[in-house]
Amino acid sequence: MKGNKHYISIAGRIQLAIAVLLLITFSVITIILHGTIKRTELIITANLVTSLANQYAAEVDKQIEENLNIIRSTAKLFYSISSMNPENQKNLLMTFSKTMVSQNISIDTLYLIINKDYWSGFDNDSAWVCYEKAGETVLETVTLSAMENLPWFTSIRKQNQETVSDMHTSYQNEKLVITLAVPIQNTESRQIGILAVDIDAFALNTIISKARPMGKGYAVLFTKNGNILAHGDSNKAIYQSQGGFSESTLKPSDIIVEQRTIEFESERWESGWNELNEQLSMGQPYAGRLQSVLHHSFWKAGIAPFRIGDSYTVWAIGIFVPETLLTEDFNNFIKVLLIIATVSFFASMIIIIVISKSFMKPLTLFSKAFINISEGDADLTRTIHVSGKNEITQLADSFNDFLKKLQTLVAQIKETTHTGYSIGSNIYEQSSSTSEILTRAQKDFNTAKIKLDELNKLLEQFTITVNNIGRNSTLLNDKLLKQTHESEKAMDKIDSTIKSMAQLAKVALEKKKVSDDLNTNASETIKTVEQLINSVKEIALDAEKIKGFNELINDIAERTNLLAMNAAIEAAHAGDKGKGFAVVADEIRKLAEEAGKNASLIQAEISGILTRIENAIADSGQATASMQALSKGTAEMADAMNSMIGSVRQSAQQTGSISEVFETLKITTQ
Q: What is the pLDDT of residues 9-28, one digit of tens each?
A: 665 677 677 777 777 877 78
Nearest C-alpha neighbor of 164 from the set 229, 76, 208: 229
How confident is the model at residue 444, as a pLDDT?
65
Find all residues with CB under 8 Å of 649, minimum gap 6, and list them.
501, 505
194: pLDDT strictly greater than 90:
yes
Highest mean pLDDT of the ranges 188-202, 436-450, 559-573: 188-202
Find all residues with CB under 8 Å of 187, minimum gap 6, and list them.
none
Find all residues with CB under 8 Å of 490, minimum gap 6, and list them.
451, 454, 455, 458, 662
| pLDDT band (50, 70, 90) for residue 110 | very high
Sorted by where each starts, the structural domains of the chain and their CATH numbers stand as: 16-327 (3.30.450.20), 391-669 (1.10.287.950)
Dihedrals phi, psi of 257, to nearest 5 degrees: -90, 125
CA gap 517, 9 in Å, rounded: 59
| pLDDT band (50, 70, 90) for residue 130 | very high
Secondary-structure breakdown of the chain: helix, strand, coil percentages, each rounded to the nearest 5 = 70, 15, 15
CA gap 302, 320 in Å, rounded: 7
Q: Which one is predicted more confidently, 296 or 577?
A: 296
Give the 3-state secondary structure of residue 4: coil
Percent of the chain with pLDDT over 90: 3
608: pLDDT strictly greater than 80:
no
Asked whether the whole model's pTM tops 0.85, one would answer no
Q: Which one is predicted more confidently, 592 or 307?
A: 307
109 near 200, Cβ under 8 Å? no
Which segments within 87-213 are labelled E, that is strand? 107-114, 126-133, 136-142, 163-164, 168-169, 176-185, 191-200
193: pLDDT strictly greater than 90:
yes
625 near 604, Cβ under 8 Å? no
CA gap 282, 566 in Å, rounded: 50
Q: Which one is predicted more confidently, 643 or 293?
A: 293
Percent of the chain with pLDDT over 70: 59
Q: Which of 294-308, 365-379, 396-410, 460-474 has the lowest mean pLDDT?
A: 460-474
How confident is the model at residue 250, as a pLDDT?
46
230 near 199, Cβ under 8 Å? no
